[in-house]
Structure 1
Amino acid sequence: MLDWLMHWIDQHGYIVLFLAPMLELLFLPVSAEVVMGYGGVLVFQGKLNWLISILAAGTGSSIGMTLAYWIGYKLGRPFFERYGSRIHMGPERIDKAAQWFQRYGNKVITINYFITGVRHITGYFSGITRIPFRTFMLYAYIGAYLWAAMFVSLGKLFGPKWDQYQVLIKKYVLIITIIIAVIFVLSFLYKKYKLQIIEFFTSTFKKGEEIFHSLRRVKILVVVTFAVFLSLFVLMIGLIQDFLAKEFDDFDMVTSFIIHAMFDESWSSLMNGFAFLASFEVLVPIVILTLLWIIFKGKDRMLETIFLLIVVIGGEMWDEGLRRLFHRVGHVASSGHVPYTFPSEQTFITLIVLGFSAFLWVRHVRSIWVRYAVSLMVIVVCILVGLSRIFFEVQYPSEVAAGYVFGGVWLSLNVILLEIFRLFKNNKTNFST
């Protein structure tokens, strides 16, 4: 079947790119992602145009989803209750789909394209459950072109190696989609049940209400930071398990290939600049400036100074201990020295120094835009540092990712401890007065 499709796309390019996703979304046995990926390979070879390929596949997807919607709408629930079980669309599945759309909103239509087995029935269920067509059209068409753009672009990016990596790519796309879906669901639940969530955390801290009575903002900060710490800690345990099971090879191979395909040798000078951001020449002055900020602007100077030193010096010791513990040998450096590189020292140190310094700088700033700007700057710099390590093949992608995770655990832990000590110190002062 796939060979037949590949032959037809070679012969009829845009027509097959248009028909394949349309037919798949009508529940026919066609692998549209493979076809779109192969279309991207033809774009790489100069046989097809990138933009036209995306338009063809996206339009076909949109039409297929629209036809599925109207079929479901016209046949209605009674038809599928009677005959739907023959094609795995019986009453129970319809009820679950209706609850899903009702609970999480219509934005899931966009996400469903990236989940095999779900996108095939999304259009039908949308029609059966009578989602307004204008609403359906908005989310369905956005998802259609995003789906097409992703797989055509990945095919173009990987070129002749698409066949070798397509299974791994689909696996990681699914993982990313699930993560996005989880984030979306959590944000939706927070918006919908905001009062209940706040009430829950308030009751959790009920026993210490006398201490935290006038410090609600700090309470929320501690709770949110603890949630981040817990999430990163769980992820850290997962990374350690994957490391011990030696399951990083596929991730390293695919990620390295993508980065080297996106950034050629012409990026070398810029990447050197990104790597410089993790040097002592940059990080030490930031620590000194942060220390000066604490001296002149800090509210708990001694406490913040102590934690700054703990974060920086203790963080370096923590990272060094981890690398000696895991003993993973990285790429051979130009000097011939082969360091232990799991987790990445550069991404780890950059994250904790910039992250903690930014936290101290903006903690007492009222402008939300300043907070967002500084936070975004820290994220961008950390990403660029990690990108440079992979580009120059100094470290593997898994080591860079581990540096972010282990650094995030250390950073969030110290933020939590700092705020708890600050609360008790202020409370002690209030009682003494």
Structure 2
Amino acid sequence: MKVTEHKKGLAAVALIASLAALYLTGVLPELPDPKKVIEDIARTLGGLTYVFVGALAFLETGAFVGLLVPGETTVIVGGVIAGQGEIDLLPLIGIVWVACVLGDTTSFLIGRRLGRGFILKHGSKVKIDEDRLEKVESYFERHGAVTIVAGRFVGLLRALTPFVAGSSAYPYRRFLPFSVIGCGAWVGLFSVLGFIFYRSFDQVAALAGQAVLGLGVTVALGVAAVLAYRRLRDP
């Protein structure tokens, strides 16, 4: 029987889940220890972590990079490195917070000065098209300041809301306080999550191993059952 794309997708999910379970439970010992990988990254970056994470936080909105690389991932990594002890958590939060607000401000000013025509002309480089821009504009028109704060936790809104606020003539004196609040909450949450994650890495890894093992077995059995049923139904 010819294998369909749907079946290929189910098989891929089963394979990934099974490999993850084997990896986290230590059945594949030749794979690198994730904790050691984190420690190696921390030693390599050292104090440059502040600059690295801050720069990416700025570029996420200041240059719309957030549509290509989720910024929270980098902030979590920064928190993990702080948990490892190579840097301090509070300076990390402060530096990234300021960088985040500066990125929002840069995007706001670009929107104010150049308007939506600029982003439509150059947006394809960072996966922005008119449809995505209109979605953010519509949401901003309906929710205003809430979008600036809550949108910080949604990839598309986070990357485009400051620009849309600027291009819509939204007053900067109203925009800035909400940007400060949103950036502070976003940076604080994800950096602390990374910090806590590293501090309890062994416990988290053990629990994750058990959970993923169960998921892998369940998915594998489910896929096998679906394929067997379809084979019997369509000989």
TM-score normalised by the shorter chain: which range applies? 0.5 to 0.7
Paired amino acid for 1:22: F
CA drift at 1:138: 1.3
* C-alpha contact (below 8 Å) 1:5/1:35 kept by paired residues: no
Structure 1 match to 2:59:
23
86 and 48 in structure 1: CA distance in 2 versus 1, 3 angstrom threshold = closer
| Whole-angstrom CA distance in 2 between matches of 1:163 and 1:118 | 35
CA drift at 1:18: 1.5
Q: Which one of the candidate residues 51, 68, 71 is aligned to 2:90?
A: 51
Between 1 and 2, higher relative CO (CA 8 Å, sep ≥ 6) is seen in 2
Paired amino acid for 1:9: L
| Whole-angstrom CA distance in 2 between matches of 1:95 and 1:43 | 39
Structure 2 match to 1:300:
none
> Aligned residue pairs: how many?
168
* C-alpha contact (below 8 Å) 1:18/1:61 kept by paired residues: yes
Alignment of 1:61-80 (within 5 A): 61-80=100-119
* C-alpha contact (below 8 Å) 1:54/1:152 kept by paired residues: yes
Q: What's the C-alpha RMSD, in Å, of the aligned pairs?
A: 3.3
Secondary structure of residue in 2 paired with 1:48: coil
164 and 112 in structure 1: CA distance in 2 versus 1, 3 angstrom threshold = farther
Structure 1 match to 2:46:
10
| Whole-angstrom CA distance in 1 between matches of 2:88 and 2:153 | 23
145 and 161 in structure 1: CA distance in 2 versus 1, 3 angstrom threshold = same
| Whole-angstrom CA distance in 1 between matches of 2:102 and 2:76 | 20
Alignment of 1:318-333 (within 5 A): none
CA drift at 1:20: 1.7
CA drift at 1:83: 4.7
Alignment of 1:257-276 (within 5 A): none
Alignment of 1:3-402 (within 5 A): 9-25=45-61, 26-28=63-65, 29-84=68-123, 87-159=126-198, 249=211
CA drift at 1:143: 0.7
Percent of aligned pairs with the same amino acid: 27
Paired amino acid for 1:121: L
Q: TM-score by structure 2 length?
A: 0.60
Q: Which runs of 5+ in 1 are unaligned?
A: 167-248, 251-433
33 and 142 in structure 1: CA distance in 2 versus 1, 3 angstrom threshold = same
* C-alpha contact (below 8 Å) 1:110/1:143 kept by paired residues: yes
| Structure 1 residues 303-326: Cα deviation after superposition (integer angstroms, max 9, x where no partner) | xxxxxxxxxxxxxxxxxxxxxxxx
Bigger radius of gyration, 1 or 2? 1
Secondary structure of residue in 2 paired with 1:14: helix
CA drift at 1:96: 3.2
155 and 163 in structure 1: CA distance in 2 versus 1, 3 angstrom threshold = farther
Q: TM-score by structure 1 length?
A: 0.34
Q: Which runs of 5+ in 2 are unaligned?
A: 1-36, 206-210, 213-235
42 and 84 in structure 1: CA distance in 2 versus 1, 3 angstrom threshold = closer
* C-alpha contact (below 8 Å) 1:114/1:147 kept by paired residues: yes
* C-alpha contact (below 8 Å) 1:109/1:143 kept by paired residues: yes
